[in-house]
Homo-oligomer: A and B are copies of this chain.
Amino acid sequence: MAAVRLIVARCEVRYTGRLAALLPEALRLLMIKSDGSVLVHADTGSYKPQNWMTPPTVIEEEPGRMVVRRRAGASEDRLDIRIVEVLSDVEHDMGEAAALEKEGAEAELQELLAETPERCGEGLRLVKREFPTDIGPVDLMCLDGEEAYVAVEIKRVATLEAVEQLCRYLERIRETPGFGGCRGILAAQVIKPQARRLAESRHIHCAEVDLAVLHGEREPDLTLFAA
């Protein structure tokens, strides 16, 4: 049954599991979803609940008290809600909800750069997307004008981590016969200054790419949502 239950109550919420957390007594909003999720929201603190339990859960309810348990191996996670006063308690049937359609995440950036790899570096042409190594796939494997391999790591925002990730891959790739001279390129919409410095000190080229420009170069009717 696809429904959401909303309770506005004065309550105290205690979480024990990976850590211990106490939410002192106050008016709060409890949201209980049909998949067993329990969210405790306040009137501020957007997006993230103050306290919560992700499914699968077992919910025990008695007057003045609600206990939400989650079984995941040895460590028992639980949410103890001590309810002092209930101001509202309603349930809404929600029916089916279609999935979210997204456009513009890293996956799309990779798609666009696979179409025009020269945006990452002059003369580049694509060899393979998701080029496999034994520790995971590199986003793009290309060849440059001098027939040398170039591994491209793509990020929406490139941080130090991205540089490290690319270096891990390069380490492995260069051990592969024929790939000894493989270069690395970090391509991202935004490259953080520290990431750029580390990349340059490791002889990794940085390419900041503009999504709008990339979009302008492809067929307009390929975009998900027309204007």
Q: Could you tell me which A residues sit within 8 Å of B by CB distance?
A: 2-4, 6, 8, 14, 18-24, 26-29, 31, 33-37, 39, 41-55, 87-88, 90, 92-98, 100-105, 108, 135, 156, 160-161, 164, 168, 194, 224-225
Contacts and interface: CB of A to CB of B under 8 A. Distances in A.
Nearest to A164: B164
B225 A103 contact: no
A161 B164 CA distance: 8
Interface centre among A95, A96, A97 (most CB of B within 10 A): A97
A42 B34 CA distance: 10
Contacts of A160: 168
Nearest to A20: B103
Given A6-B6, A21-B102, A102-B21, A42 B97 contact: yes
B52 A47 contact: yes
A95 B26 contact: yes
Given A19-B105, A103-B21, A54 B43 contact: no
